[in-house]
Amino acid sequence: MHHRKIIPNVVTYSSLIDGLRKSGRIEKALELVNEMHHRKIIPNVVTYSSLIDGLCKLGRIEYALELVNEMRCSKIIPGVLTYNSILDALFKNHRVDEAIALLTKIIEKGILPNMHTYTILINGLCKCGRLEDARKVFEDLLVKGYGLNVYTYTAMIKGFCNEGLFDEALTMLSKMETNGCIPNDKTYETIIPSLFEKGENDKSEKLVHEMIERGLLYDQN
């Protein structure tokens, strides 16, 4: 039986690059992109998004932004997933004003943020000490009827806990259930230790029992 030579295409390369990204081997992924260019294979939005995400996770934001410009020069339009990676990296590196400016810019370009974008924004603002700004974004989303998910609520709850505003955190926990969003293990693990540290043992133990009832924690008694 004759063995046919398999010629890699953009899908093949993109899959390999994404695998390398997930394993943290971004330099090898970049080598494959150079190989693609050498073979006259044009990277697509999936290829670029994988690279940009990998670079952002390593804090190499400038290089990621260069790739965004390269995409545009190649008539490839970056999507919201691509920008989410950059926004997350900017916030994690305390470049808050740049993140907000970028978000404003992409909205002006007609790219609609998704719920993950808003969760990144709320989480980033909270971590950078801008809790009131995060609260305004959160409340605005509620008023506009966005279906906030457990990650968005948990980010807001964590923001309250970090500032020692435990009553607000508990109110938010109650509000999310009223709005049909069920807390997950991360939500409880965010608020319970904070309550214990404050000495609110009754409230924290009540939440532990809720976790057990919901199958999020095994009762070891």
Q: Each residue of 83-126: pLDDT tens digit?
A: 999 999 999 999 999 999 999 999 999 999 999 999 999 999 99
What is the mean predicted confidence (pLDDT) over 158-184?
A: 93
Q: Report the C-alpha gap between 14 and 205 in whole angstroms.
A: 48
3-state secondary structure the chain: CCCCCCCCCHHHHHHHHHHHHHCCCHHHHHHHHHHHHHCCCCCCHHHHHHHHHHHHHCCCHHHHHHHHHHHHHCCCCCCHHHHHHHHHHHHHCCCHHHHHHHHHHHHHCCCCCCHHHHHHHHHHHHHCCCHHHHHHHHHHHHHCCCCCCHHHHHHHHHHHHHCCCHHHHHHHHHHHHHCCCCCCHHHHHHHHHHHHHHCCHHHHHHHHHHHHHCCCCCCCC
Cα 32 to Cα 7, 16, 56, 62: the distances in Å are 14, 8, 18, 20
Query: Per-residue pLDDT tens for 35-47?
Result: 999 999 999 999 9
Alpha carbon distance 99, 104 (integer Å)? 9
Check whether 7 has a pLDDT greater than 90. Answer: no
> Do 53 and 18 contact (CB within 8 A), yes or no?
no
Q: How far is CA 153 from CA 85, 205, 213, in A?
A: 20, 21, 21
| pLDDT for 220 | 53
Taking residues 55-83, report their average pLDDT. Answer: 94
Residue ranges and CATH numbers for the domains of the chain are 9-113 (1.25.40.10), 118-220 (1.25.40.10)
- pTM of the entire structure? 0.87
Give pLDDT, residue 103: 96
Asked if residue 186 has pLDDT above 60, the reply is yes
pLDDT reading at 145 higher than 60: yes
